[in-house]
Amino acid sequence: MTEPIVRIAGLSKQYREGVLAVDDLSFEVERGQVCGLLGPNGAGKTTCLRMLLGLIKPTRGETYLFGEKVAPGAESLRRVGALIETAAFVPHLSGMKNLELWWKAGGARLADADFDEALAIADLGDAVKRKVKTYSQGMRQRLGLARVLLGRPEVLVLDEPTNGLDPGEMREVRLLLHRLAEAGATVLFSSHVLAEVEQICSHAVVMDRGHFVAAGSVATLIGDAGSVYLEVDDLVRAREILEALPTVKRVDSEPPGLAASITGGSRAELVAALVHAGIGVETVTARRRLEEAFLGLVEADR
């Protein structure tokens, strides 16, 4: 059996104020997985990732990268690219100089950094020569992603990586993570945007109030029921009709279609109602959304 790339073993963190941020958390991430760390705000996701990177000392338990126990400044961190919360830089230096200094501070050769590839992904153009203090939040986050990719790390640890990005940039990040996973990288990223996790991740770990709730492949966690995705020829009227149905809890826009969360009833009932109103239905896809699965898991745990 191969060693997991990331291993969290009995991890707990209690701050001096008495807050138990993480409570006996254990999970593993195998090579090549894109694993989402899910949880509501305050679930302990960021604290967990910071302990994984040696930034916070656990009260109990250990974290392992590539089979080696993580300590502050551990050598295994060289094989990790990380973005924790917002990307931060030295504001009075250019984006490029920030990347160079950060890379050199780790004792690595500039030739090994692959700046061109990372900068192409960040897509900052000539702005990379400007001082970071002139950047928008989105530009900083993209530069942060470029820093994550320097040296082609084997593991990416990303905490809310799409924070501060516009919808187009968020989509770019999702595609990027897909491609990184296809290229063999292992990704562990936290998010409370469940649709994002559903689209990106092969696996997910659910945590709530600091402790483990569930883990597994996203398909396993989602299960067999919950929502319907529809593509129709009149989105506005379709939404009105669906929202009027008693079995529909909520209707979300998911261009080019709509996603209807249902409780009880059947998908055929929804389609019949739309057709009866003269709306052309082009696509119907049954699915249980991760959000529902997540809420169900968390509620069952409480």
Partner 1 sequence: MATIARPEADRSVRGHPSTLAVVTTEFYKSGRRLRTYVAYGIVALIPIILTVVLKTNPPGPPGGRDNGPRFALAYLGTHSGLLIPAFALRATSEFLLVIVVALFGGDAIAGEASSGNLRYLLMRPIARGRLFVAKFVVAVLYGWIAVAIVVLVGAVVGGAVFGFKGLDLPFGFFGGVQSASHIVGHLAIATAYVAWFLTTIVAFSFMVGTMTDSTGGAILAGIGLWITWTILDAIDSLGQVRYFFPPHWSGAWAEMFTSNHVSDDMIRGSLLTLGYVILFGGIAAWWFRRKDILS
Q: Which residues of this protein are in contact with partner 1, per CB under 8 A? A: 15, 50, 53-57, 72-80, 82, 84-86, 88-93, 101-102, 104-109, 112, 114, 117, 120-121, 123, 147, 151-154, 172, 175-176, 179-180, 182-185
CB of 179: closest distance to partner 1 in angstroms? Answer: 5
**Strand stretches in the chain, DSSP E:** 6-14, 20-29, 34-38, 60-65, 68-69, 80-83, 155-159, 186-191, 203-208, 211-217, 227-232, 248-254, 257-262, 281-287
Closer to partner 1 by CB, 200 or 215: give it: 200
At residue 245, φ and ψ (nearest 5 deg) are: -80, 135
Q: How far apart are CA 243 and CA 163, in angstroms?
A: 30
Q: List all residues 6 or more positions away from 208 whose beta carbon is below 8 Å from its beta carbon.
A: 39, 40, 43, 298, 301, 302
CB of 174: closest distance to partner 1 in angstroms? Answer: 12
CB of 50: closest distance to partner 1 in angstroms? Answer: 7
Rounded to 5°, angle at Cα 107 from 31 and 88:
75
Closer to partner 1 by CB, 183 or 244: give it: 183
CB of 266: closest distance to partner 1 in angstroms? Answer: 41
CB of 88: closest distance to partner 1 in angstroms? Answer: 3
Closer to partner 1 by CB, 168 or 246: give it: 168
Closer to partner 1 by CB, 99 or 258: give it: 99
Which amino acid would we find at residue 19? Answer: V
Closer to partner 1 by CB, 57 or 129: give it: 57
CB of 235: closest distance to partner 1 in angstroms? Answer: 29
Rounded to 5°, angle at Cα 202 from 196 and 205:
80
SS3 (DSSP) at 99 = helix
Residue 214 near residue 286 (C-beta atoms within 8 A): no
Closer to partner 1 by CB, 133 or 265: give it: 133
Residue 254 near residue 229 (C-beta atoms within 8 A): yes
